[in-house]
Homo-oligomer: A and B are copies of this chain.
Amino acid sequence: MSITINQPLDMHLHLRDEAMLKTVAPLSSHSFSGAIIMPNLVPPVSTKEELLAYKERIIHACGSDTFTPYMTLFFKPTYTKAFLESIKDELTAIKLYPAGITTNSEGGVSGFEVETLRETLEAMSELEIPLCIHGETNGFVMDREAEFVSIYEMLATNFPKLKIIMEHITTKESVEALDKFENLYATITLHHLLITLDDVAGGMLQPHLFCKPIAKRPEDREALRKVALNAHPKVMFGSDSAPHPQHAKESCGCAAGVFTAPIALQVLTELFMEHSTLKNLQAFVSDHAKAIYNHIKVPHKTVTLEKKPFVVPAKYDNVIPMYAGETLAYSILEIKG
């Protein structure tokens, strides 16, 4: 038996820049039709020139004509409607980071007052530009996302025509928020469907599984699995694949991020198969994203997998992937498009 996925999409991806971009971009463009590209470079992508230049560098690094990088800007409350109109055709979404909450987010939003955000968020609503949010407060690490739900709700209420994507959700509280507000959507990563804090810090400490938001409790993972595996229509796959060089992970002060891009489809296939929900995989890794991001054009590509052992490389250049050196149950057999 083989499994074929049409137009797989990764709705939350970090490609970085320069040498790292050259390492990781081909790994995503190989097996995905497109990805939402996070703008947290140094400095963050916040002008039309930066966005277009970054897109060029990505396309050059990918070397594939069946992969579209969907570009995002780093949210600033100073973006005017005129500016957004001028960039709209090149822009798929805008990513909002609370200040200092994760890698390269220092210039993010430091307060969530409606009036400060109103001009930009109303312009985005009118122009139908989705707002992607890294939803964490600066509270205690296990509570940050649950505490942020009230901000999601405040934004959803005040900007009812704005599509708000709760990125890489990790808690049952975020899952519950999905059904309370029509304009809240979510991405879920591969690793948050698989691990809890036990996998990060329950045995030996595992820096390669350390990410933000940090993996939470078993009941949180259960809530995520429930909506992902059962094809909740407001939930889509976003890997949050976030490469760091090995030395930045295995050191005193380890950077946050799990690198999953090259193994995501294989492991998702196994997970959905194990839970007898394979029929929902296509929706999770593509169809829901196309419906939610209804303006995107998606290159034609099909990825066929089969049950055949795949040994995950120990490294991709100097980046250690999740399951490095381990054997996965499913392999990619063929990619067409």
Contact = CB atoms under 8 A, between A and B. Distances in A.
Contacts of A3: none
Interface in A134-148: 140-142
A72 interface: no
Given A207-B254, A254-B207, A214 B201 contact: yes
Contacts of A141: 197-198, 201-202
A205 B204 contact: no
Nearest to A204: B253
Give how many copies assemble into the complex.
Answer: 2
Interface string A218-256: 100000000000000000000000000000011111111
A161 interface: no
> Chain A's interface: helix, strand, loop or mixed, by majority?
loop
A268 interface: no
Interface residues of A, number: 27
A217 interface: yes
Contacts of A140: 196-198, 202, 217-218
A217 B142 contact: yes
A288 B214 CA distance: 39
A256 B205 contact: yes
Nearest to A248: B204
Nearest to A100: B203
Interface of A: 140-142, 196-198, 200-202, 204-208, 210, 214, 217-218, 249-256, 320
